[in-house]
Chains A and B, each alone.
Chain A
């Protein structure tokens, strides 16, 4: 069985020292090893942004696509080969701005992939503009007077969109983050994991210290029931969405692939590409 070291490749990340994304990378590697994956059995599809580089930093199949589209690419991969463990990942701009349409529909569709968002409340790669996750009043290069749009709560949004797995974590909390990614991979359906992953270069407000001060662990809330959507929503509202842990999980609903009529149990990549003459003749006869 592969250890987490086998999920390391020999590429040196070009992230700034101290960037939250390093821990996300480490947590994915650990979680993959912990659930018993082999490097070739995993495909990481990522978006564009500092965070999007992550697929190049893990020893597994990796696909670094275009801005905002990691989810449809990842869903296509999973549809083609259901035996692969597919992880989609990207930034808050990638998933909640340009790719928001895909995010909502991937949640609804519930294909069995794990989506990890590295949420730094800013656009890192383009050097510090506002993001849909930036709080009102947040000053950036594109909002010099402070943002006049409120921040989006992806967790609340996911709950209303019919999510079956909604979790949030903090990148320094490697143990907790690893456990959540493991749970996400094991979840049979779409899992959304939003990770607070500070940008030390462009976000001087939402820093490591700021998160430490403001986050509440769900494990510290007595009797928190992650199977209740209502509790989940109320808790998010009560804490301004600043909670970590598995917020909601629906263990009943079947994944998209389990519900498709006729869909092969074995990977589609192994399907026979040839029709036989008899089946073709039958298809053609319908047009006579």
Chain B
């Protein structure tokens, strides 16, 4: 009996690899296991190797495993590309149809099962995925009754017969594997899980749900990987709440439409990835200078240009902080877990209205698309705060004077009136303007308005700007990261601790304005600071240096090959840095 294992299914894109992983993991989730998934896919629909790697555990897990226990292969390429990941007790389960060959340099056992043939005999070879799911279940020693419910949910609308056939396919795969395993039964059997029902979702689900909970009622967006799930979810869920999603002609339209809607008083969202964010830049500046609330999601992927559209990267950081010409107040937040993605998105709408500025929710491909077990989301923690929104009647102004929408105030935030309000007329312009919004190029006014805007986010109130796991007063290493690397870092930390290295962990959740006051003491008390980031230039390390100094002890461990970090890499590279590193 083991407490955790790593399972991977692979084949040609468009062959149902996704659904094999999906059905298997939904069942495991129902049984109460903790899961963490990773999808390897490319930017094409049919063909090309794709795989889905899932870590299954009886306790919480937030990262991909270093190695692999079970590889389910629908073609030889899957074996060839992935077998090196298999550990000593690892096994390959492959479709007999392609005459699988076991590579010479592996200890892994190969079990050949006629997935396709068995499925075809049951009616359609499409069900080969179900046979594979059944076989996998046999290795893990699962009670396959759990599939009754899952298959019914997925295929129920196609009729009872289809449900029945799929269940039979699972059962046959299960029995066949059992027989093959013979004496090897049990080596990869998973300890029973607690049977608790838990949420199982991707970061984009949490972002979309967070938007709904946070009062978002309109979204304008243009499809792009890895952001589209957000719009696809909201178009299903917004209409019952009176709202909707518009798929616009491009991201410039999406962003400016969201600005128009926010100006009019609806909480509106737009979401994209790097290429779309590049197009939104001018509009972000418009939101900044006109002090119009705006919430934008950037699900980072490999750049620049089309870059690695389906791969992990964290290279939009600087662009998100500084992007748009000129200078504006802006908030950039970076949730590091699916749970945080939910709370942060809901909160982003509050911050956008309180500080009347653009708020960017930074995610990355692994956080946005990695499907995982999630703690219960506490809806009662979600607040709706609308800042200085004027709701009281406004007295009639003398001589058609405009409302001072851009009144210079101590905290920089001015009262905000929505169009349609009687006696509240004011002007909005991207041109520098006076307190009523009328264009003005007067130098003293420019300075006043600029100072007022930039003042707004100086003392931003933000709950937990840094997620800290800092039990050492003085640490050998301070490991810093943001977004989806949280889990790998935590796992690497455990290993470093076991080896006697005192490591602290700071995961930055508020990227801008940077929480320097909170970060500085952690950096001071560390011998070395290592920033883990999926980019080539060490963007977060540079931000750290800019904000807290100590450049001499800050370095990065970088990965920009499109794949997420493994705990092993972070662990060994941190250790090397600690032991030999001359930073």
Do the beta carbons of B218 and A268 come within 8 Å of each other? yes
- Is there a chain B Cβ closer than 8 Å to A20's Cβ? no
- Is there a chain A Cβ closer than 8 Å to B242's Cβ? yes
Interface residues of B in 170-207 (CB under 8 A from A): 197-201, 205
Q: Could you say which of A77, A109, A275 contacts B264, with CB atoms under 8 Å apart?
A: A77
Name the distance in Å between B328's Cβ and chain A's nearest Cβ.
Answer: 13
Given contacts A65-B256, A79-B257, A84-B419, contact A269 B266 (CB under 8 A): yes
**Alpha-carbon separation in the docked complex, A8 to B399 (Å):** 11
Q: Could you say which of A10, A59, A79, A105 contacts B218, with CB atoms under 8 Å apart?
A: A79
- Is there a chain B Cβ closer than 8 Å to A36's Cβ? no
Name the distance in Å between B505's Cβ and chain A's nearest Cβ.
Answer: 28
Closest to A40 in B: B422
Do the beta carbons of A56 and B260 come within 8 Å of each other? no
Name the distance in Å between A126's Cβ and chain B's nearest Cβ.
Answer: 15
**What is the 8 Å Cβ interface bit string for chain A, positions 30-74, against chain B (1 contact, 0 not)?**
000000001111010100100000011001111111100101111
Name the distance in Å between B246's Cβ and chain A's nearest Cβ.
Answer: 7
Query: With a CB–CB cut-off of 8 A, which chain A residues contact B200?
Result: 287-288
Q: Which of A212-220, A247-255, A256-264 contacts B (4 or more CB under 8 A)?
A: A256-264
- Is there a chain B Cβ closer than 8 Å to A145's Cβ? no
- Is there a chain B Cβ closer than 8 Å to A76's Cβ? yes
**What is the 8 Å Cβ interface bit string for chain A, positions 79-94, against chain B (1 contact, 0 not)?**
1110110000000000
**What is the 8 Å Cβ interface bit string for chain B, positions 243-259, against chain A (1 contact, 0 not)?**
11010111011101111
Q: Could you say which of B242, B264, B282, B429 contacts A81, with CB atoms under 8 Å apart?
A: B264
Query: With a CB–CB cut-off of 8 A, which chain B residues contact A287?
Result: 199-201, 205, 209, 374
Do the beta carbons of B249 and A9 come within 8 Å of each other? no
Do the beta carbons of A66 and B268 come within 8 Å of each other? no
**Alpha-carbon separation in the docked complex, A115 to B42 (Å):** 42
**Alpha-carbon separation in the docked complex, A26 to B70 (Å):** 75
Tell me which of A40, A266, A281 has the highest count of chain B C-beta atoms within 10 A of its own C-beta.
Answer: A40
Q: Which of B11-19, B298-306, B377-385 contacts A (4 or more CB under 8 A)?
A: B377-385
**Alpha-carbon separation in the docked complex, A69 to B266 (Å):** 19
- Is there a chain A Cβ closer than 8 Å to B439's Cβ? yes
Do the beta carbons of A72 and B265 come within 8 Å of each other? no
**Alpha-carbon separation in the docked complex, A109 to B419 (Å):** 23
Chain A: interface residue count, which band? 35 or more
Q: Could you say which of A9, A41, A264 contacts B242, with CB atoms under 8 Å apart?
A: A264
Do the beta carbons of A43 and B419 come within 8 Å of each other? yes
Given contacts A72-B253, A287-B200, contact A277 B420 (CB under 8 A): no
- Is there a chain A Cβ closer than 8 Å to B400's Cβ? yes
Do the beta carbons of A56 and B242 come within 8 Å of each other? no
- Is there a chain A Cβ closer than 8 Å to B240's Cβ? yes
**Alpha-carbon separation in the docked complex, A271 to B267 (Å):** 10
**What is the 8 Å Cβ interface bit string for chain B, positions 419-458, against chain A (1 contact, 0 not)?**
1111111111111000000110000000000000000000
Given contacts A271-B217, A274-B215, contact A60 B258 (CB under 8 A): no
Name the distance in Å between A273's Cβ and chain B's nearest Cβ.
Answer: 3
Name the distance in Å between B237's Cβ and chain A's nearest Cβ.
Answer: 7
Do the beta carbons of A84 and B244 come within 8 Å of each other? no
Q: Could you say which of B267, B377, B380, B400 contacts A10, with CB atoms under 8 Å apart?
A: B400
**Alpha-carbon separation in the docked complex, A62 to B427 (Å):** 5
Do the beta carbons of A101 and B249 come within 8 Å of each other? yes
Closest to A62 in B: B427
Query: With a CB–CB cut-off of 8 A, which chain B residues contact A104?
Result: 249
Q: Could you say which of B30, B262, B283, B384 contacts A66, with CB atoms under 8 Å apart?
A: B283
Do the beta carbons of A61 and B253 come within 8 Å of each other? no
Do the beta carbons of A76 and B438 come within 8 Å of each other? no
- Is there a chain B Cβ closer than 8 Å to A238's Cβ? no
Do the beta carbons of B240 and A262 come within 8 Å of each other? yes
- Is there a chain A Cβ closer than 8 Å to B286's Cβ? yes
Given contacts A269-B266, A271-B217, contact A101 B253 (CB under 8 A): yes
Name the distance in Å between A24's Cβ and chain B's nearest Cβ.
Answer: 18
**Alpha-carbon separation in the docked complex, A269 to B242 (Å):** 10
Query: With a CB–CB cut-off of 8 A, which chain A residues contact B264?
Result: 43, 76-77, 80-81, 84, 269
Query: With a CB–CB cut-off of 8 A, which chain A residues contact B254?
Result: 72
Name the distance in Å between B93's Cβ and chain A's nearest Cβ.
Answer: 28
Name the distance in Å between A231's Cβ and chain B's nearest Cβ.
Answer: 29
Do the beta carbons of A275 and B257 come within 8 Å of each other? no
Query: With a CB–CB cut-off of 8 A, which chain B residues contact A283?
Result: 209, 212, 237
- Is there a chain A Cβ closer than 8 Å to B241's Cβ? yes
Do the beta carbons of A64 and B430 come within 8 Å of each other? yes
Given contacts A76-B260, A260-B239, A277-B379, contact A9 B429 (CB under 8 A): no
Given contacts A268-B217, A268-B242, A280-B213, contact A81 B256 (CB under 8 A): no
Can you list 30 residue pairs at the A/B interface with Cβ under 8 Å?
Answer: A11-B438, A48-B430, A56-B427, A56-B439, A59-B425, A61-B420, A61-B426, A64-B429, A66-B283, A66-B286, A72-B252, A75-B257, A76-B258, A76-B262, A78-B260, A79-B257, A80-B263, A81-B265, A262-B238, A262-B244, A263-B239, A264-B242, A264-B243, A269-B266, A269-B418, A271-B241, A273-B214, A273-B267, A280-B379, A288-B200
Extra 17 A-B pairs, beta carbons < 8 Å, given A61-B420, A72-B260, A76-B257: A10-B399, A39-B425, A40-B422, A56-B427, A61-B419, A61-B426, A65-B256, A65-B430, A69-B253, A72-B220, A80-B263, A80-B266, A81-B420, A266-B242, A268-B261, A283-B237, A284-B379
**What are the 4 tightest A-B residue pairs by CB atom distance, in nearest-first order?**
A76-B260, A262-B239, A273-B215, A264-B242
**CB within 8 Å of B: which residues of A?**
8-11, 38-41, 43, 45, 48, 55-56, 59-66, 69, 71-81, 83-84, 101-102, 104-105, 109, 260-264, 266-269, 271, 273-275, 277, 280-281, 283-284, 287-288
